[in-house]
Amino acid sequence: MDTIYALSSGALPAGVGIVRISGPDAGMALRALAGGLPEARRAVVRALVDPESRDVIDVGLVLWMPGPGTFTGEDTVELQCHGSRAVIARLIESLAQWPGLRMAEPGEFARRAFLNGRLDLTEAEGLADLVAAETEAQRRQALRQARGAMAERLLAWRETLLGCVAEVEAQLDFSDEGDVGSELEVASRLRGVLLEVRELLSGARLAERVRDGFVVVLVGAPNAGKSTLLNAFARRDVAIVSAEPGTTRDLVSVPLELSSYAVTLIDTAGLRETVSTVEAEGVRRARVAAEEADLVLELVPAGQSALAADAPATSGGPDRWVIETKVDLVEGGDLQGAGRHRVSAVTGVGLRELELALGEWLARQGVGGSAGTVGAVAANARQREGLLRLAERLESVLKRGQPRGVDELLGEELRACLRAIGRVTGEVDPESVLGAIFGRFCIGK
């Protein structure tokens, strides 16, 4: 296997640049660059010398970490240098001279960690999410995943299913023995696993929202103040604001962070009947965006009637709030009346209260992501699909066992459940799936 190397720290220039080397020739490379191997897992200061010209490239910290007790499970070296482009470029150039060493591909360090059993696929995906996390909620969820929250649960299910397989085989081979368990005991264990799988799946959508961001859509008639409110939340001019109706004809999205949660706030075309083909398409897109949102804010100028009354989510639909706008144009208006939020994006009146209310709403949605629950463990579509497949297999096994009892086919169906778990953890994933997953990583991770 090749020895790989890459810059593993942030963009240059930086205070420190870290070059990671992993593979069977990592120790050889360190000897050539630093004149020998230091004590394992102890940082020492060394001059880093070009092996051919003998020029000193830089003076920095070097770490020698022999495998398998490393991130990748292989011999690993870390070179901590001054983070200038010139230093890192010369260091990379020196490493490229050696046969058997090559630049790492995106995600190759993490992929080797997976292939060497240092982490399973769910932990690797959590690690990718942790690197990409932009909000506190995303960080918490990704860290739980990277530290094995789902892996622990999958391992427990696997052990239970292995016990059930052993029980079924024992019943087939030793049915006349008194100490062999009954099919009722097997069914009870399987129902317990199925209940936990369903519980985890129930929080999968929430976990994806924490990871990808909640969607809040602004709707209303033309000139209701949607674009002005969007600009106020964004703290910059994102959307064009004009007194002319129909100015916004397409969706305008702004990513925000509210109460540690990622949010995408979407401005839409004003809802009205129109003969303009372009504006009609904008209205259609506005309605679709509202249907797919997590929360709809219907904006209504002060003193006018809403298109729809305040309504919570029903049959899976989005929550809906009515926001009374332009209250600065109404004399003596009470900012809190009839259960509505009343704001003026021009004067700022009511904006802070609306932002706090949105933060409280997000916190209520994100309860499933707290440390004490399992709801937000399933954080991506691949894992959700695997868990759905596992649930279907378990349901099939339970249905088969009830009328027929124990037979050889029951044991094979239980093994199919084990294979479904293996697909989530990566034990039986095809090469194309692994390539897609680890290709999301940056080079050097």
User: What gap in Å lies between CA 181 and CA 167, rounded to an integer?
Assistant: 7
Average pLDDT of the residues of the chain: 83
Residue 248, pLDDT score: 63
Residue 19, pLDDT score: 97
pLDDT in tens, 185-238: 888 899 999 999 998 888 777 888 888 889 999 999 888 888 888 888 888 777
Report residue 179's pLDDT band, with 50, 70 and 90 as the boundaries: very low
Q: What is the mean pLDDT of residues 347-375?
A: 74
Q: Are 136 and 260 in contact (CB under 8 A)?
A: yes
Residue 83, pLDDT score: 94
pTM of the model: 0.75
User: What gap in Å lies between CA 267 and CA 263, rounded to an integer?
Assistant: 13
Residue 164, pLDDT score: 85
Count of CB atoms within 10 A of residue 276's CB? 11
- Please state which CATH number belongs to domain 3-104: 3.30.1360.120
Q: Residue ranges per domain, the chain?
A: 3-104, 123-203+380-438, 213-368
Contacts of 133 (CB under 8 A, 6+ apart): 139, 142
pLDDT in tens, 365-407: 865 444 334 344 666 888 888 999 999 999 988 886 554 555 6
Q: pLDDT > 70: what percent of the chain?
A: 83
Residue 433, pLDDT score: 61
pLDDT above 70: residue 432: no
Q: 213-368 adopts what CATH topology?
A: Rossmann fold (3.40.50)
pLDDT above 80: residue 425: yes
Ranked by mean pLDDT, which of 71-75, 249-253, 301-305 comes out on top?
71-75
Quick one: 244 exposed, middle or buried, by C-beta within 10 A (0-12, 13-18, 19+)?
exposed
CATH of 123-203+380-438, one of 3.30.70.260, 3.40.50.150, 2.30.29.30, 1.20.120.430: 1.20.120.430
Amino acid in the structure at residue 196: E
pLDDT above 70: residue 137: yes
Buried b (16+ CB within 10 A) or exposed e, 405-431: ebeeebbebbebbbebbbbbbbeebee
pLDDT in tens, 8-33: 998 899 999 999 999 999 999 999 99
Instruction: Output DSSP code: residue 136.
Output: H
Residue 428, pLDDT score: 66
pLDDT in tens, 39-54: 999 999 999 999 888 9
Q: Which residue has the higher pLDDT, 368 or 184?
A: 184
Q: What is the mean pLDDT of residues 44-72?
A: 95
Residue-by-residue DSSP string for 321-387: EEEEE-GGGSTT--SEETTEEE--TTT-TTHHHHHHHHHHHHHHHGGGGSTT-STT---SHHHHHHH
